[in-house]
Amino acid sequence: MSISVLGAGAWGTAVAIRLAGAHSLRLWTRSPEQAAAMAAQRVNSRYLPGQALPANLLPTADLDAALAGADWLISAVPSSGFRPLLQTLCERGTQTPLIWLCKGFEAGSRRLPHEVLEEAWPEHPPAAVLSGPSFALEVARGLPAALTVASRDAEFARRAAQALHDPRLRLYASTDVVGVELGGAVKNVIAIAAGISDGLGFGLNARAALVTRGLAELTRLGLHLGGHPETFMGLSGMGDLILTCTGDLSRNRQVGMRLAAGESLEGALRQLGHVAEGVTTALELDVLADSLQVDMPITRAVAGILRGEMPPREAVTALLARELKDEAI
């Protein structure tokens, strides 16, 4: 089977490496220089250094070549690049099944990826989101992981899970696109909060409280938007939240730790060298939650820190000083 991964960041490269064991893979990047470097060095030295590209993985900057003959397309561009890519695919009349990996809300519109898809490509082919607890480096190394593939078409979700299944990458099918996407988005915001807490030295108890109440925020919003309760207890909900809030490979947690150390947001992102989807998501999610009258205090605190309205320690103090209430979703 021929698969084309569109987007050669860390996650796109990792998925391409993992799937190349059983399929013919093309890895597309907008940058001819990056494609040439990957082809010559057989490694994505910028985004996933040290992980060799298999011999049957072809890097390319030619989108038409990447699309030609593909049985599956996997969009691995960040949320900011998802709409432009979809518009390009729509213009080319592509009808190859599509799976997207981006997590978060589109800046400005506050649209989830499936909503962007419906707007940018109304006559799109069968499509699904792939999400769950997974770090790019571990997937590229072939360490075991389990993810969720969600599509409103249950049969297509099962077909996608079967097609992309790998002995070290177990896939589960779901029809809860909204719930799976929200899990992938909100967990990045809570991970920034967890990084701030860890960076301030507040300890494991505080981190556990943040993760737990973060799950409550995710569930509260998810139920309001029509997500399924079981999704938030599953891989793309609680599973991804735990991993991203506790793992040292988490970009968003690293951003939080750098902010706690006194770095500016711009400096933290520059040092990171990768996209941290939680930054844009926190700002958009704060506005969305307010408009929907959904209480999300951790998200509100993170957004306030990112906007420079309060320092991290003051934000945490404000969270702890909130009015006492019964524990509930």
What confidence tens digit (pLDDT) does each residue in 224-258 have?
Answer: 999 999 999 999 999 999 999 999 999 999 999 99
Torsion of CA 253, 259, 262, 265, to 10 degrees: 130
The answer to whether residue 221 is domain-embedded is: yes
Tell me if 127 is assigned to some domain.
Answer: yes
Please state the rounded mean pLDDT for residues 58-81.
96
How many Cβ atoms are within 10 Å of 104's Cβ, its own excluded? 27
Residue 102 main-chain phi, psi, to 5 deg: -65, 150
Domains in the chain, number:
2
64 domain residue, yes or no? yes
- Does one domain contain both 81 and 164? yes
Q: Of all residues in the chain, what percent carry a pLDDT higher than 90? A: 89
Task: Report the distance separating Cα 232 and Cα 179, nearest Å.
Answer: 7
Same domain, 157 and 185: no
pLDDT average, residue stretch 166-187? 96
Among residues of the chain, what percentage have pLDDT more than 70? 98
Of the residues 23, 111, 187, 220, which is catalytic? 187
Cut 0.85: pTM above it: yes
The pLDDT value given to residue 272: 79
Rounded to a whole number, what is the distance in angstroms from the first to the last CA of the chain?
44
Query: Quick one: pLDDT at residue 319?
Result: 82
- Same domain membership, residue 188 and residue 47: no
List, for residues 186-202, the tens digit of each pLDDT value: 999 999 999 999 999 99
The C-alpha angle with vertex 80 and arms to 111 and 222, in degrees rounded to 5, equals 30
Could you tell me the residue range of the domain that residue 304 belongs to?
Answer: 178-320
If you write DSSP's letter for every residue of 76-96 in order, what string do you get?
-S-HHHHHHHHHHHHHTT--S
Q: Tell me the CATH number at 250.
A: 1.10.1040.10
Phi-psi region of 324 (alpha: psi -120 to 50; beta: other; left: phi over 0): beta
Decide which of 157, 175, 193 is a domain's last residue.
175
| Residue 252: closest CA among 235, 269, 232 | 269
Domain-ending residue, one of 114, 148, 175: 175
Res. 158: pLDDT tops 90: yes
Q: Is 216 left (phi over 0), alpha (psi -120 to 50) or beta?
A: alpha
9, 74: one domain: yes
Same-domain status, 123 and 210: no
Same domain, 310 and 242: yes
Determine whether 187 is an active site residue: yes
Q: Does 291 fall in a domain? A: yes
Tell me if 326 is assigned to some domain.
no
Decide if 325 is inside a domain. no
Residue 173 pLDDT > 90: yes
Question: Is it the case that residue 327 has pLDDT exceeding 90?
Answer: no
227 and 268 inside one domain: yes
Point out the domain boundary residue: 141, 160, 175. 175
Answer whether residue 134 is part of any domain.
yes
Q: What is the Cα–Cα distance from 234 to 184, expressed in whole angstroms?
A: 12
